[in-house]
Amino acid sequence: MVLCTNHGRSIQVNLQGHDIKVTGGSLPGTYKVEQFHFHWGPNNNVGSEHTYDGKQVTAELHIVMHLDKYSNAGEALKNENGLAVLGYLIDVGSHNKNYDEITDKVKNVQKQDDILPLQSFKLSSLLPSSKCYYRYLGSMTTPPCAPVIWTMFTENIYLSENQLQEFRNLGNTDMDLIHNCRSPRPLDGRIVTSNCNNSS
């Protein structure tokens, strides 16, 4: 089952009962995808939590995974290398039909704790084909800001202005979600590695 949830800080899609696993690329084990969520801002120049060459873009997608020896992310965050995130910057472009199941329905999860089932789809259909990425050891951008292995892919996702506006229209019980992104932070000496292998 695929559930779209407004949890007050973002729109999160929980992949209940799906066995999507990620391994290789120097990850220290096999990771199971638990959920993905979005961060965005009030306009097309603010919204991503990472930057390339100092430039922020419209939004960002985070795919949250945990080492498969743990039952869930809550258990994994207590352990070294327990969590990993695949990140993609989202910028404004042409209409992306692969996101219709999400962007057409987020209006139905306007308030915190609203939940809506979605039709099943392939997670890979939401993602660009490029395998080029940067990796570093950091932390989650939302509480409890647990340690995480970040993998940020270099090829952007593109959504139309109308699709992006569906996210900006959302609210929760206390405040709107028009700006649910954390400002980019300095690296503070973290080592960033790069990898680009589009052969597979």
All structural domains of the chain with their residue ranges:
2-195
CB 79 within 8 A of CB 148: no
What's the first-to-final CA gap in the chain, in angstroms?
A: 29
140-148 long-range Cβ contacts below 8 angstroms, 24+ apart: 140/77, 140/83, 140/85, 141/39, 141/49, 141/62, 141/181, 141/182, 142/9, 142/10, 142/182, 144/77, 146/77, 146/82, 146/83, 147/77, 147/80, 147/82, 147/83, 148/83, 148/84, 148/85
Identify the CATH homologous superfamily for domain 2-195.
Alpha carbonic anhydrase (3.10.200.10)
Tokens 């800001």, residue located: 145
Q: How many CB atoms lie within 10 A of CB 130?
A: 14
Residue 9 tokens read as: 């800080």
Q: What is the pLDDT along the chain (200 residues), one digit of tens a residue?
A: 899 999 888 999 999 778 899 999 889 999 999 999 999 998 999 889 898 888 999 999 999 999 999 988 889 988 889 999 999 999 999 999 999 999 999 999 988 899 999 998 999 999 999 989 999 998 777 677 778 999 999 999 999 999 999 999 886 555 567 667 777 776 777 899 999 876 54
Which residue in 163, 168, 123, 166 sits closest to 2, CA to CA? 123
What three-state secondary structure class fits 142? coil
Beta bridge partners of 67: 31
